[in-house]
Structure 1
């Protein structure tokens, strides 16, 4: 493992569990073999300013505490640097941490900072905006743009799912266009997942996605309207083979994506863009402290 001599912790204490768990995180990190400079941020508007100040010190390890949206919004600051990212999952879904195999409890996540190894990973991009895990078109942006912030804080994942059910009743399918010109593919869609990682909303949905694959995965729930979307989510939660029945998947380094009508796009849970966009992969642009990788099936196979 790279020797860590300096580390900084930036915590969004306005995330669902950030304020309550900040002191617990600091206590857990007191046993690390390097000092960690804490930087709690209680005003999300000051996160970018805090990151610029912290990164100016060029720490060996930058630990981000918060949810997927917090991590994704700040991850641009690590691109092009030698600083290793550490993840302290304090959000609702914690999909990026799940994709990396990082434990969701504070002690387990801190233990990865102690015993893990730096892993070089890809980031996804929507136009010029980097993201960590997954962007989405469809019901997810509708939920993300309307869910009351305190609902997530008070009721967590259960509250989020309840709000999602309400928004789903108001949702309508749309036309998706992938590519440009004569080769463009058109299809009806209820959800589009632009994925760098496997998890979305805390559920493994895009199992083909790998953080070091060098390609962006666009998975489309295309068949049977809202019924197909319900079936796909249910089958994904239960791990059933039928989760693939209603989906179409595209693999590429770069894809042009449009919808009719134009629709908002949520990027790791935050609505930050609108179609049409170009989705692409930025291969191997950052390093993250992660648990040892399990051997992949292809590596296990014997000749």
Structure 2
């Protein structure tokens, strides 16, 4: 198997590491496992062109992407519906998609597991032509990201602290959205402080919101009804212990597609797609593409070739 690795020097925790030494370690681990590998290092400003070039490289069987969640989402979108597989070096803050694939969070352990791993097919979601691996969100989450980006931090811990501060500020003044949701078999109106459309349902009982079935074949549609500070506090507490299905502040639906229409007057909102802020159109169609992404993941009994 020929692996082409692209490491974003400015992405996630890689910005604090010696990426040249890391590249050498990746080569050693994959070559010892019997693979051929080429490692390319780039800066954040060149990541899009470098990823596009790597995704179109006919000699590579696997594209190994190293960086934050934005880097991983970019690579996944380029590989959707192709025969090239995605491997993830989890160097972000949360690494939610990597967690859903069972990839260890320690970089060396992740490299070892991937070098001994196997190819499987998982789902990927798409919003008006933009593919994503974790979630599209409207409301509190984009507001939290916007507030966090105004703060200064230089490390993973600093980013977590900034996220907590931004979450508290968001909880005090949550947004209010009027939405229309059209699912294949129903249409509904929703007044919400946050809408999340996820690439498969979150696992129950997990401290972080990620799916434990990346090939489950359904979008998760999470409508948050919490509005008061007490309701917000309860919502975040439940989220912190991974309680979704029994969370009275959240209404959950699942479907293979949903159209979201914003009915909140002339106020402009943004959405977040895999943690990256983007403009929010008045109407967005979101579709799940079942098993449209090939991934290199740690071996498991249910792995599919």
Deviations 1:61-105 (A, max 9, x none): 111111111211232221232211100111111111112121111
Say if 2:184 and 2:255, in contact at 8 Å, map to a contact too: no
The alignment partner of 1:213 has SS state of coil
Higher mean displacement: 72-81 or 17-26:
17-26
* Matched residue, 2:95: 94
2:288 alignment partner in structure 1: 281
Within 2, Cα distance between the matches of 1:211 and 1:131? 12
Does the Cα contact within 8 Å between 1:236 and 1:243 map onto a contact in 2? no
1:93 counterpart SS class: coil
SS at match of 2:86: strand
Change (3 A) 1:114 1:120: same
Please say if 1:25 is aligned against 2:32. no
Structure-2 change in CA distance of 1:183 and 1:81 (3 Å): closer
Bigger mean CA deviation after superposition, 218-227 or 132-141? 218-227
What secondary structure, in the 3-state scheme, does the structure 2 residue paired with 1:161 have? Answer: helix
Matched, 1:272 2:287: no
Match in the other structure for 2:48:
48
Q: CA RMSD in A?
A: 2.7
Q: Which residue does the alignment assign to 1:204?
A: 208
User: What secondary structure, in the 3-state scheme, does the structure 1 residue paired with 2:152 have?
Assistant: helix
Structure 2 equivalent of residue 161 of structure 1:
164
Deviation of 1:222 (Å): 1.8
Deviation at 1:184, TM superposition (A): 2.4
Normalised TM-score (structure 1): 0.84
What residue is the counterpart of 1:57 in the other structure? Answer: 57
Kindly state the Cα deviation for residue 185 of structure 1 after the two structures are TM-superposed. 0.9
Q: CA deviation digits over 1:217-258, x for unaligned, max 9?
A: 111112454533431221232245785221111211111112
Paired positions, count:
287
Structure-2 separation of matches of 1:131 and 1:123? 6
Flag the 1:48–1:241 CA change in 2: closer, same or farther, 3 A: closer
Task: Name the residue aligned to 2:145.
Answer: 144
Whole-Å separation in 1 of the counterparts to 2:120 and 2:184: 38
| Secondary structure at the counterpart of residue 29 of structure 2 | coil
CA distance in 2 between partners of 1:221 and 1:74 (Å): 30
Q: Which runs of 5+ in 2 are unaligned?
A: none
Cα gap change, 1:81 to 1:245, in 2 (>3 Å): same
Identify the residue that residue 298 of structure 1 maps to in structure 2. none
Q: Is the 8 A contact 1:15 1:153 kept in 2?
A: no
Specify whether residues 121 and 87 from structure 1 end up closer, same or farther in structure 2 by C-alpha distance, changes over 3 A only.
same
Compute the TM-score of the two structures, normalised by the length of structure 2. Answer: 0.84
* Correspondence for 1:177: 180
Q: Which runs of 5+ in 1 are unaligned?
A: 296-303
Q: Is contact 1:120-1:212 (8 Å) kept?
A: yes
Residue 71 (str. 1) matches residue 72 (str. 2): yes
1:173–1:225 CA contact under 8 A, matched in 2? no
Distance in 2, Cα, partners of 1:24 & 1:140: 36
1:151-210 Cα shifts (integer Å, max 9, x gaps): 3533132232223323443332222321189952112211111111537xx953466x73
Separation in 2, partners of 1:82, 1:182:
33
